[in-house]
Structure 1
Amino acid sequence: MPLDPIVAGVREYRVATGFTPLYTMTVDEARRSDRETEATTWDWHRQPDQVFELEIEGPAGPQPIRVYRPDSEGPLPVLVYFFGGGWVVGSLDTSDAICRALSTLVPCVIVSAGYRLAPEHPFPAAVDDCYAAVQWVAQHGAEIGADVERIGVVGDSSGGNLAAAMTLMARDADGPRICAQALVYPPMSNDADTESMREHNDPMFFNATSSGWFWSRYLADPADGESPLASPLKAADHSGLPPALVITAEYCPLADEGDAYADALARAGVPVEHHRYPDLPHGFVAMSAILGTARDALGEIAEFLRRRLE
């Protein structure tokens, strides 16, 4: 399908204003540029009543988390959210608007997990930090009004990769019980050679070159990409994982590997809901302030989580 008209307008603006892809920059430059484009809070939904930050003890020392909680008389289900940014850029602020929306749409407590970034801290640092956040929620969630019997994991882009890794890690380590996973246009294999990866290299959006740039900085050794905690699609066994929602986008280079992961889960007997959104690029959910389809996607995520965390 043709690119969504609103997204096409965003693309035209980027062309006119000299948009610079992150992969043409140094890591420090990319991080500064990413901070300048972080989404601001949306006003189309009710805001959570409480938003506050804590530090937990992570594998490498104090680790930040941000908690979102709507008003409730009793415990609420809890989501651990992992922000995107190719494991190289991004922060708790990256996913702030999405977390605020999901917290009230579900409703639920959300714990947004901070984690160490590559290349200074390559794989598996981010995985270890994210798992520490999941463990903290399981052990201390009641202190923030969460029902720790109803834990879900959610992430977009590289955060979706980390969310999938959490389900594998928790299953194999007999860790916290995760009841649901929502993976939004996730990268699932470090060396994916797919049609969508070959087709989508528009420099105005996240593209195939972007994917390679991020993977090359996340993995200190390309051989690390064989680990299912880096490339969940390469796991030998996908059975016993929590019910999943997988969202992909037509103009995203990662679309085919996300589709393949949904298929792998289904073949392993995992309940899966999969939706490929037409005419949209990678990252479209972050455009919810201007894009109705992105708000629809957030509604789909919230509805899935409501059902699975009841």
Structure 2
Amino acid sequence: MPLDPTYAMIRRYRAATGFTPLYTMTVEEARRADAETEAGAWDWHPHPEEVFDLAVPGPAGEVPVRVYRPRSDRPLPMLMYFNGGGFVVGSLNTSDSICRALASLTRCVVVSVGYRLAPENPFPAAVDDSYAVLRWATEHAAEIGADGRRTAVAGDSSGGNVAAVMALMARDDDGPSLTAQVLVYPPLHNDLDSESMREHRDPMFFNAHSSAWFWSLYLADPADGDSPYASPLKAVDHRGLPAALIMAGELCPVRDEDRAYADALSRAGVPVEYHEYPGLPHGFLAVSAKLPTGRDALRLIARFLRRRFGTEHEVEPAAEAPATVVVGAAQR
């Protein structure tokens, strides 16, 4: 399948303006470059009425959290969201637009987690922080207007890996009961030996070199990649995990491991929806303001979550003018 027309335009622009892949930079240069791509608020969907920042106790100090809450006079279901960035770049800001869309389209409280980044904080820092926030959020859900009994996890790219790990950890630890997991083009093992990894090396997009670079920084010891909490595809048992929605791009290097994870969950009796988008590379949710397929994918995620939350009977929000948004470190 040829490259999607929107991405073909993006590729031409990058080639003409001297695009530099993150894996050719230092970590600090990569973080600055990634931060410059932060998208502003989109105008194709409503926005949650409240957006506020919190600090949650974690295993190595406070973990920054951003909460998104639509207008409601009753507790709403809760979605824990983990941003992408290869465990090395990315932040609450880079996932802000996705979280606003999901909070409004799903009509749920979204809790976005600013976990520690590698290489300063290698595996398992990211998952330890994220699990601490997951437990805190379910225990304190009422304080942020959420119903902790209806909690799902989601993430894109490395955040999708973290979301999958949260499902495994919660099951293994007899932790919070999760309603669903949404994994958007997640890297799910560190072996880098799949056909899709060999095929997709275009330097204008996230590619096999990107994946190798991020894994090398995330894992202080390559042997750590054998842990199912680093590589969920390597878990011996996938039984008892929450229903999953997995999305992948046809032209993404982690496509084959996403297919394999959908198969592994299905074999274990876990309900799975797998959607593969023709002509799209890694990262397509991040350009949803320009990409109709990205907007469709976010709406599909919202419909899946509403079904799992038991709120599918509620009217889907119209894509109208945004509501007033309050941003800051407010406490509820």
Same fold? TM cut 0.5: yes
Question: Counterpart of 1:181 in structure 2: which amino acid?
Answer: Q
- What TM-score, normalized by structure 2, do the two folds share? 0.93
Q: Which residue in the other structure is 1:163 paired with?
A: 163
Is the 1:23–1:209 contact (alpha carbons within 8 Å) kept by the matching residues of 2? yes
Secondary structure of the structure 2 residue equivalent to 1:280: coil
- For 1:10, the equivalent position in structure 2 comes to 10
Partner of 2:123: 123
CA distance in 2, matches of 1:107, 1:267: 32
Match of 2:203 in 1: 203
* Post-superposition offset of 1:131: 0.2
Instruction: Confirm or deny: 8 A CA contact 1:192 1:257 kept in the other structure.
Output: no
Aligned to 1:70: 70
Q: SS state of the match for residue 80, structure 2?
A: strand
- 1:280 maps to what in 2? 280
Q: Which residue of 2 aligns with 1:80?
A: 80
In 1: Cα distance, 2:300 partner to 2:29 partner: 35
1:234 is aligned with what amino acid?
K
Give per-residue Cα distances to partners, 1:114-144, cap 9 Å, x unaligned. 1100000000000000001100111101111
Letter in 2 for 1:27: V
RMSD: 0.5
Matched to 1:72, the amino acid is: S
Q: Which amino acid aligns with 2:77?
A: P
CA offsets, 1:56-76, max 9 Å, x none?
111111111000000001110
- Give the letter aligned to residue 249 of structure 2: A
Contact 2:192 2:208 in 1 (8 A): no
Q: Between the two proteins, what is the percent identity of the paired residues?
A: 69
* Contact 1:47–1:101 (Cα < 8 Å) also in 2: yes
Gaps of 5+ in 2: 311-332
Moved over 4 A (4+): none
Q: Which residue of 2 aligns with 1:23?
A: 23
Amino acid at match of 1:59: P
Structure 1's unaligned 5+ residue stretches are none
Using the alignment, how far apart are the partners of 1:91 and 1:236 within structure 2? 31
CA-CA distance at 1:39 after TM superposition? 1.6
User: Per the alignment, in what secondary structure is the counterpart of residue 48 of structure 1?
Assistant: coil
Q: CA deviation at 1:218?
A: 0.0
1:190 aligns with 2:194: no
- SS of match in other structure, 1:57: strand
Query: How far apart are 1:41 and its partner, in Å?
Result: 1.3
Q: Calculate the TM-score normalised by the size of structure 1.
A: 0.99
1:53 partner amino acid: D
Residue 142 of structure 2: SS of its match in structure 1? helix
Amino acid in structure 2 at the alignment position of 1:84: G
Where does residue 232 of structure 2 map in the other structure? Answer: 232
Per-residue Cα deviation, 1:50-96 (whole angstroms, up to 9, x for no partner): 00000011111111100000000111000000000000001100100
Structure with the bigger RCO (C-alpha within 8 Å, sep 6+) is: 2
